[in-house]
Amino acid sequence: MASSSATGAALVWFRRDLRLQDNPALHAAVQSGRPLVCVYIHEAGSAFELAPGAASRWWLHHSLIGLSGAISALGGKLVLRSGDAATLLPAISREAGCSEAFWNRSDVPHISARDCPLARQLESVGVKARGFRASTLIDLPTHLNGSGAPYRVFTPFWKSALKTLEPRAPLPAPTRLPAGPEIASEALDSWNLLPRAPDWSTGFDADWTPGEDAAHARLDSFLANALGQYPEDRDRPDIEGTSRLSPHLAWGEISPRTIWHRARAQAEQTGLYKQTEKFLSEVGWRDFAIYLASHFDDLRRMNFNRQFDHFPWRDNPAGLDAWKRGQTGVPIVDAAMRQLWATGWMHNRTRMIVASFLIKHLGVHWREGMDWFEDTLVDADLNVNAASWQWVAGSGADAAPYFRIFNPVTQGERFDPDGSYVRRWVPELAGLGRKQIHAPWSEPAGVLAMAGVTLGKTYPHPVIDLKTGRDQALEAYQSMKSDAQAAAVLGIDS
């Protein structure tokens, strides 16, 4: 066993920052001149696990392969361990004779709270702990409004940030990673991150290449081919109009600072300033979701708007199951849910449509949808997912009012005008024309038969009448308001 000394090794703890470029912790460790012990800890089964679902575990498996290869190519080694980081990091530090430990801070509040005593624990045994901000554009703890309070609405949050925001240039990737003492590493396959047979994730391979190189290639492709039409095309699920960088950002394979500077450089070269600002505002919304988690209660389990503690959610297991399987009988909803199952991803516009349908038409609690997304999305980010579901529910910060209910038919007609998105994912409706495909139940049986569609046989009847669902949602909203007001009068806490 190596002994810890002033010239000991530096431990680099990788988490959701699986990259070499613009990695502040790694950069500082390299600058220390010490040999490096690069570690990834899989905290499976603990409250600190950051890979909540099967789809994101698939991504993690492949991303770790890429990171390990990149580290090896520079002379280092990625050590894999599973268990409790609070136990493993001091043990690894002793085993490898580490004098310093470097990591990038987490964006999940309860994990950040754990990291502080962990740092003190390391320092008590002679290992200096150093943490860095790496995953946001904005220094979230210090970004407050004029009253010194956290922002609760995105627009003023972002407008204020833009007045002074100029993220530093991305840090370069190291050209060499001097390997520290050889220590044991677990086999990645032993973690069983890949789904077991029948492996639905085989379809992911056609859509995704995890890893840092793929993240940069995807950004380059977006900036060159789609940025110019981004404001118009970003809401069209039938068009490749978005960056699809979300899983790469979720796993830290590319930093928001890198995206910021490369997008700004593209704007300087092309004059696409308005398009770039719109794109970067979406990166800013990601910061806002993390900001909310940093300053307020756990948005995954608590309503931001506590009035929604009184909301009369319905027990609707049949509706929830039909929604998960893409068998609701509402074409744009079913197309989106099938895309999610097949690819581990869903277009942002259809995420809003399916969330609104589940919450408002079916009356199912937003947590049910959030949990399903966490299990099936390759880009499952705890903060962003929770903030997004609460936004649609009306219970969140900067939320769409609950009475703003997406009509999935008009949404489909507007954002999938030719029906090509529905035809791709709901092929049993492929014979229907553009004026029929988003509401097949409104067509005569003869018209449907000519297209090979028989409702209730080849394609389901809608699980709920859309007008009935809307009316029930509005009634529930009024009931919630009345109950919340009564509770406030009586002084009953939520």
Condensed to tens digits (0 to 9), the pLDDT of residues 361-377 reads: 999 999 999 999 999 99
Are 119 and 149 spatial neighbours (Cβ–Cβ below 8 Å)?
Answer: no
Are 230 and 241 spatial neighbours (Cβ–Cβ below 8 Å)?
Answer: yes
What's the CATH number of domain 136-167+213-296, 1.10.287.3510, 3.90.226.10, 1.25.40.80, 3.90.1150.10? 1.25.40.80
Q: Is 285 considered catalytic here?
A: yes
CATH 3.40.80.10 fits 9-134, yes or no: no
Assigned fold of 306-484: DNA Cyclobutane Dipyrimidine Photolyase, subunit A; domain 3 (1.10.579)
Is residue 260's pLDDT more than 50?
A: yes
Return the closest-CA partner of residue 242 out of 388, 351, 376.
Answer: 351
Alpha carbon distance 155, 284 (integer Å): 10
Between β-strands 78-82 and 98-104, what pairing exists: parallel, antiparallel or unpaired? unpaired
- Burial status of residue 457 (CB atoms within 10 A of its CB: 0-12, 13-18, 19 or more): exposed
Q: Is 372 considered catalytic here?
A: no
Read off the pTM: 0.94
pLDDT band for position 216 (50/70/90)?
very high
Q: Tens of pLDDT along 35-56? A: 999 999 998 766 655 556 899 9
Alpha carbon distance 140, 142 (integer Å): 6
Are 219 and 254 spatial neighbours (Cβ–Cβ below 8 Å)?
Answer: yes
Residue 1 has what pLDDT?
Answer: 38
Pick the catalytic residue from 348, 407, 413, 441.
Answer: 348
Is residue 3's pLDDT more than 50?
A: no
Return the closest-CA partner of residue 451 out of 434, 463, 472.
Answer: 434
Q: Is 282 considered catalytic here?
A: yes
Residue 270 has what pLDDT?
Answer: 97
Domain edges within the chain? 9-134, 136-167+213-296, 306-484
Are 221 and 198 spatial neighbours (Cβ–Cβ below 8 Å)?
Answer: no
Report the DSSP beta bridge partners of residue 78. 38
pLDDT band for position 7 (50/70/90)?
confident
Residue 52 has what pLDDT?
Answer: 65
Residue 45 has what pLDDT?
Answer: 67
Residue 112 has what pLDDT?
Answer: 81
Determine the 3-state secondary structure of 386 from DSSP: helix
Q: Is 323 considered catalytic here?
A: no
Residue 201, CA distances (Å) to 56, 193, 343, 375 in order: 10, 11, 7, 12
Pick the catalytic residue from 191, 200, 277, 313.
Answer: 313
Q: Is 313 considered catalytic here?
A: yes
pLDDT band for position 281 (50/70/90)?
very high
Pick the catalytic residue from 59, 285, 345, 425.
Answer: 285
How many CA atoms, within 13 angstroms, populate the side-chain half-sphere of residue 237? 30
Pick the catalytic residue from 282, 341, 407, 413.
Answer: 282
Q: Is the dihedral of CA 26, 29, 34, 36 positive or negative?
A: negative
Q: Is 425 considered catalytic here?
A: no
Percent of the chain clearing pLDDT 90 (strictly above):
84
Residue 16 has what pLDDT?
Answer: 93
Is residue 11's pLDDT more than 90?
A: yes
Q: Tens of pLDDT along 340-353? A: 999 999 999 999 99
Pick the catalytic residue from 389, 391, 428, 443.
Answer: 389
Residue 493 has what pLDDT?
Answer: 59
Is residue 484's pLDDT more than 80?
A: yes
Determine the 3-state secondary structure of 442 from DSSP: helix
Pick the catalytic residue from 366, 372, 391, 425.
Answer: 366
Determine the 3-state secondary structure of 455 from DSSP: strand
